[in-house]
Structures are given as structure tokens and as C-alpha cells.
Amino acid sequence: MSKKRKEHSMKIHGFPFHQELLEQFRMIERESFYKVPASAYACYLTLLAQRFYENNPKGILQEYDLSSWSKKTGVKYSSLYHGFRWLENFNFVQRSVIYQDGKSIPVTMIMDWEKYQVVERSGEKLNYLTIPLSIFETDFLGECVRTSNGKAFKLLFSLLNIFRNKYGEKSVISTDKVKQKYNMKTLKEMLGKNSKGVRDVLEIFESIFHIQYLGKTVRGKGKKLQLWIPSITFWLRPECVKEHTDEFELSPLTQKLHQELLEFLERNEIKHRPRDAQQVMFNFQHTVVRYIKYMKHQTLGYKERDRFIQNFFMDTINHMENHIRYVIKDQGEFKIRKSVGGYFRKVFQERFKEKVTKYIDQHELGLVIDMIAREERITGEALITELLQGTEHNALIDKYSQTA
């Protein structure tokens, strides 16, 4: 009997900004005479975005370039550099050098980032807000820096934190169903502006939020007319969100395996770029995960599937590590002469079919049959049967399906 598919909800499409890191900015303002400049906030967001693109859990960036980010955001290079220097002075970022394959590579390090990754991996939930990637397709950063409006970032962070929580509390199918209202008095206090100044700042926010002025009236007479707005409602623009479509609950597992991959590459001093690790994980999805992602146990859910995926990945990593040691002992060094992603793809392909057939031998065949039936019902095909074509396991599956 077919099951009703889960309705997809929405989430903010972007990268995390841990509240603990944001609190460090607030602490500087509380405990010193220094105010965080808009350029520092803008620069820090570009650093977090670069970490997201490179997907480095330690916050070590190999490809961060101020000039490129200046062009992308519309923030003048001199301003972005000023923000970077401010972050350096207050130990939010540090330039350093790492060594790979006997060569020194200049890197930019986001300080304390790894600390929060370690906490997350220990199972403790962290509080963070999500910065939408679409912010870099607008003039928001450029305008905030041009007008020296650091407090606008505080309002931005407050709104994004509220919306992340609201989107997490319930299923959201349209952005206009989730709104947040502020009264004008609160916004004047947050931004340090009069009513006209608040409206000027909110014009910048219109690239990220829909904004509705509530109860708008005109007061006064003659030349002393004043626009009076008691409250303002915000809701996210559609380009800031995406459907939360991880129906198969694979994201946490793939993130964990990505971290294992990075540690393997560093431990064995395999020269690589951030995009190489991303390509390896893409190839793993294509050569392994897509064949068995529909495997779901009646009582254990996806746990049995995830156990197989993780065991296969770690077993392959250990196999490669033993091979590397043998090559180094025999030849003095180990090098991947072409593509790192291509090398891993070949190893995944060579080992996966053997491991799947061994799994079928050792486990209940019905679980595989159920997976095939589920995939055929949803997509109209079952990829695992293509992989097992011509084997005794495929013949056995055909026989089982006909009698089931």
C-alpha cells in the first residue's frame, strides 16, 4: 500500500552564524568603547559564506579573496580590507600557513569555528541563525557599509534568528505565512535613528524582506506635516528560502562522512583543494548512496541503511589507507596523479558491487525487495537492479518479487 508522501516545508537557504560567535561581537561593544563597524560585519559574513562554499569544518579557508568578495558584494575593497583588519585585531580571523605535500599554502582562519563543530559532533545542539545566500545577490552589504550603518546588521541578525526559529517550529509552504512585527519605537531604539532614519534603513532591508507599514497616517498641518507609522511587519522574500527536501534524512550522515574524508586527506598528506573534497562526496552520492537511499526498515527507519553507508565509507577509507602505507613502503611516496575526485570514484565503483552482494547474502532479502518496490513506486525504476544485472542476486530478486 502506497504511503502519502511528506509535504515539503521551507527553510532559510544559507549558512550558519553561531550565536556564541555573535555574542563575542556584542561583548566587545559592552566592555569597551569600540563599536563594530559595518565593514567588519560585512567582511565576517563573506568569511562565513566562503567557509560554507569550501565546506571546511575547521574554518580554514584556502580560497578566500577580498578582491573577489568586493566585486560580488559591492563593498569597496578598501572598506572590506578595513573590516578584515578590524576582525584581525579582535582575533575573529587570522592569516596563517598550512603545509600540504611539502608545500606551504597561505590560508585564512576563522577563529573558534572548529570549537563549535566539535560541540555539534558531540551531539549537543547549538543555537545559530541562518544567513541567506541571496544576500550576496543584493546591495544590502554595500549599502550598509556605504552608510556606515553597523546597527542595521544587528536588526538583520535579530530578524533572521526569529525567522529561523519560526520556520523550525512548523511546516511552512509560503513565506508570507510567517511574519514578524516591530513597533516603530523599538526600531528607533535598535537603530539609533528617528522615524525618517528608520524608514531610510528599511529601504535597504527591502532587498531581503517584504516590508509592510501598518497604520500609516499623516499628522500635523501646513508645513509641519509628519508621516506617522506605529508598526512595521517583515517577512522573508522567496529567494531567501528553499524547500526542505531532505526526505531521506541523509544530510547529517553525509556531513559526518565529509569530515572523516577531510581528516583522511590531511592525515595522509594528500594534496587537495576544497572543491576536490566536494567532488569526492558528489561521486560517493552518485556511485553509492543513490542506489540504496530508498532502503527503509519498517521499525528502524533509515538506521540500517545509514549503518551500511557509513560502514562502506569507513571501510573504503581504511582500505585506501592500508594501500597508501604499502605504496609508500614500496615506492617511497604516494601521489594521486590526476583528479582526487576521479580516484575516489574508481575505488567506490570497484568496491560497492562486492559489498552490496555480500550485504544481501548476510541480511534479510526482503529489506532489499521492499527498497526496490518503494523506489519503483516513487520514481518508476530501481537502480539497484541495474547494478546487479547478470548476477545470481538479480535472478533471486526477480524470483522473490514474482512470488511476493
Domain boundaries, the chain: 9-172, 251-403
C-alpha cell recorded at residue 102 = 611539502
If pLDDT is split at 50, 70 and 90, which confidence band does 252 have?
confident
Residue 146: pLDDT above 90?
Answer: yes
Q: Is 13 exposed, middle or buried (0-12, 13-18, 19+ CB in 10 A)?
A: middle
Tell me how far apart the alpha carbons of residues 321 and 327 are, in angstroms, rounded to a whole number.
10
Residue 273 vs residue 136, higher pLDDT: 136
Residue 7 binned pLDDT confidence (cut-offs 50, 70, 90): very low
Confidence at 276, pLDDT banded by 50, 70, 90: confident
C-alpha cell at 147: 552608510
What average pLDDT does the segment 254-273 reach? 85
- Closest-CA residue to 41 (of 79, 95, 94): 79
Checking if the pLDDT of 18 tops 50, the result is yes
- Using an 8 Å Cβ cutoff, are 371 and 403 in contact? no
Spatial neighbors of 404 by CB under 8 A, at least 6 apart, are 369
Average pLDDT, the chain: 83
CA separation for the pair 43, 167 (Å, rounded): 27
Neighbours of 392 (CB within 10 A): 11
Whether pLDDT at 68 is above 90: yes
Rounded average pLDDT over 42-50: 96
What is the predicted pLDDT for the residue at 43? 98
Element holding 97 (H helix, E strand)? strand 93-100
DSSP annotation of 301: B
pLDDT of residue 39: 97
The most confident of the ranges 129-133, 270-274, 277-281, 400-404 is: 129-133
Amino acid identity of residue 208, one-letter, is I
Over residues 276-284, the mean pLDDT reads 85
- Over the stretch 187-206, which tens digit does the pLDDT of each residue have? 999 999 999 999 999 999 99
Query: Which candidate, 88, 90, 84, 74, places its Cα nearest to that of 39?
Result: 84
pLDDT at position 225 is: 64
pLDDT in tens, 79-131: 999 999 999 999 999 999 988 767 888 999 999 888 876 545 545 556 889 99
Highest mean pLDDT among 72-81, 94-103, 346-355, 379-388: 72-81
CA distance 153 to 90: 18
pLDDT of 403 strictly over 50: no
Find how far residue 2's CA is from the centre of its chain: 33
Interaxial angle between packed helices 195-205 and 184-191, expressed in degrees from 0 to 180 and rounded to the nearest 10: 80
Distance CA 69, CA 245 (A): 30
The CA distance from 249 to 279, in Å, is 21
pLDDT range class, residue 397, cuts 50, 70, 90: low
CB of 391 closer than 8 Å to CB of 360: no
DSSP assignment letter at 288: I
Instruction: Please report, rounded to a whole number, the percentage of residues in the chain having pLDDT higher than 90.
Output: 38
pLDDT of residue 1: 34
186 vs 190: CA distance, rounded Å: 6
Backbone angles phi, psi at 166, to 5 degrees: -65, -40
Looking at residue 287, its amino acid is T
Q: Does residue 300 or residue 83 have the better pLDDT?
A: 83
* 340 pLDDT tier (thresholds 50, 70, 90): confident
